[in-house]
Amino acid sequence: MPENGERNNGFGVYKNLCCGCEVVIAEGMEFPDCPNHPRLTTIWKPVNTEIRKMSVAKPHSDTAA
């Protein structure tokens, strides 16, 4: 898992292991320090951002005849 100061090799959402802070990091950008623990080693874990298609129920028609 990447640490602060390392370059990101692919766009993604990452969460740090120390306090759960989430950031979006573009490809080629450096992983930042944790905002709550500056100057300490911060390990960043990729967040699963898979988008799933959900089915939507059609509304029932309440027409009076």
Within a domain: residue 62?
no
Within a domain: 14 = yes
- Indicate the pairing of strand 44-46 with strand 12-16: antiparallel
Domain count, the chain: 1
**Is residue 21 situated within a structural domain?**
yes
Dihedral sign from CA coordinates of 18, 36, 23, 55: positive
Containing domain of residue 16, as a range? Answer: 1-26
Instruction: Tell which wins on pLDDT, 64 or 42.
Output: 42
> pLDDT of 24-44, one tens digit each?
999 999 999 999 999 899 999
Q: Taking residues 50-56, what's their average pLDDT?
A: 72
Could you report the per-residue pLDDT of 2-16, keeping only the tens digit for each? Answer: 999 999 999 999 999
Q: What is the DSSP letter of 44?
A: E
Q: Cβ neighbours of residue 39 under 8 Å, at least 6 residues apart? A: 33
Q: Determine the pLDDT at residue 63.
A: 64
pTM attached to this predicted model: 0.71
7 found inside a domain: yes
- 3 Cβ contact list (under 8 Å, min separation 6): 31, 41, 42, 43, 44
Structural domain includes residue 33:
no
